[in-house]
């Protein structure tokens, strides 16, 4: 294993990634007694950025008894009604879009659960006697995924809206810890290939939210543009874009294709052919096989690998992987 340069990783993000599997069991305890009574017809999850990543994972599992709608905007989704359960998630507790959604939910009198590390979300929940799950502070929102995901799962189980899932989390955490260092080793290897490249992350539709989170980690950790899409849709449009690479004289794109052993045989064939065509047109591509196991293990082990690739790519670029200064600068400009 290569030695981490602590002069670059000033906030020790490597340790945060190493400890991230433990969040899955810790989050269950945070939400152990959080429950809302009601005959709910849907679940509306309000959240932005890293705070919303766990909602995508939950929706991807397709184990809730009613539909999930993820709202990433001001106010409340038009799908919300008197029979909705609204979950407002903001790691900082001060995300203005999520606060707007919570206030709108209050005005409409719908049932709400708040989740945050503090801030205005906690204050509003306390003032209005709204069930609230307090998430530990001190890390970036994109690295609180385990806390938020398992807390949210526990809340929905308590509300009888989710099939029993939390009983898997203890074993899942141990399995993730067992593969964490090997995932880092694989991540270092892939990061070296991506140096000075623009990543494009592809997957089957089953893992499209994992591909999306990889894209986000490249943005926020490595501070580079990145993109994602999924099969088979991309073969009907996006793939054509590679045909013009030679004319514009760039070879900077690198397609990472996340492949699950259980992907449809025709999807796997599409992946192989797409990788060949991308290479033929002057870019690069690599199929990365997701570890086998339960759906949750596949998702979280693939997310770990994405963490390590983007983390080590940041170090290769001599960029601090933790800070997202441009986001903070943007928020300050909005307040002027």
Tell me the two tokens of residue 309: 């690739």
Helix axes 53-61, 295-316, angle to 10 degrees: 150
Tell me the two tokens of residue 260: 């699950």
Helix (H) or strand (E) holding 322: none
- Taking the C-alpha atoms of residue 307 and residue 196, their distance in angstroms, rounded to an integer, is 18
Of 10, 29, 289, 331, which residue is the catalytic one? Answer: 331
**Residue 322 φ/ψ, nearest 5 degrees:** -85, -50
Residues for the chain: how many in total? 336
Instruction: Tell me if residue 160 is catalytic.
Output: no
**Residue 82 φ/ψ, nearest 5 degrees:** -65, -15
* 68-71: strand order across its sheet: 68-71, 42-46, 84-90, 111-116, 132-134
Of 78, 127, 164, 236, which residue is the catalytic one? Answer: 236
Nearest alpha carbon to residue 56 among 299, 243, 326 = 299
Of 220, 223, 268, 291, which residue is the catalytic one? Answer: 220
Instruction: Tell me if residue 331 is catalytic.
Output: yes
Instruction: Tell me if residue 236 is catalytic.
Output: yes
Question: What residues are labeled active site?
Answer: 220, 236, 331
């Amino acid at each position: 294993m290569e030695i981490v340069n602590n002069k670059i990783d000033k906030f020790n993000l490597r340790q945060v990634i190493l400890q991230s599997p433990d969040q899955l069991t810790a989050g269950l305890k945070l939400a152990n007694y959080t429950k809302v009574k009601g005959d709910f017809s849907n679940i509306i999850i309000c959240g932005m950025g890293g705070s919303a990543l766990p909602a995508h994972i939950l929706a991807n599992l397709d184990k809730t008894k009613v539909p999930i709608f993820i709202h990433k905007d001001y106010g409340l989704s038009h799908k919300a009604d008197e029979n909705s359960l609204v979950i407002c998630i903001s790691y900082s507790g001060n995300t203005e879009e999520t606060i707007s959604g919570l206030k709108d939910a209050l005005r409409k009198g719908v049932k709400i659960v708040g989740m945050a590390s503090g801030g205005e979300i906690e204050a509003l929940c306390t003032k209005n006697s709204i069930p609230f799950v307090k998430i530990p502070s001190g890390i970036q929102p994109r690295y609180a995924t385990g806390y938020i995901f398992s807390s949210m799962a526990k809340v929905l189980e308590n509300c009888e809206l989710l099939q029993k899932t939390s009983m898997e989390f203890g074993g899942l955490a141990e399995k993730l810890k067992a593969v964490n260092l090997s995932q880092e080793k694989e991540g270092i290897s892939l990061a070296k290939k991506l140096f000075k490249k623009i990543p494009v992350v592809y997957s089957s539709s089953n893992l499209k939210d994992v591909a999306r989170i990889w894209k986000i980690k490249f943005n926020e950790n490595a501070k580079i543009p990145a993109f994602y899409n999924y099969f088979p849709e991309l073969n009907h449009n996006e793939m054509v874009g590679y045909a013009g690479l030679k004319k514009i004289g760039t070879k900077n794109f690198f397609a990472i294709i996340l492949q699950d052993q259980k992907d449809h045989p025709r999807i796997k064939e599409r992946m192989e052919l797409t990788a060949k065509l991308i290479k033929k047109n002057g870019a690069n591509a690599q199929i990365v096989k997701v570890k086998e196991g339960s759906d949750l293990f596949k998702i979280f082990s693939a997310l770990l690998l994405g963490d390590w690739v983007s983390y080590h790519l940041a170090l290769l670029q001599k960029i601090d992987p933790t800070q997202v200064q441009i986001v903070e600068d943007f928020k300050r400009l909005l307040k002027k």
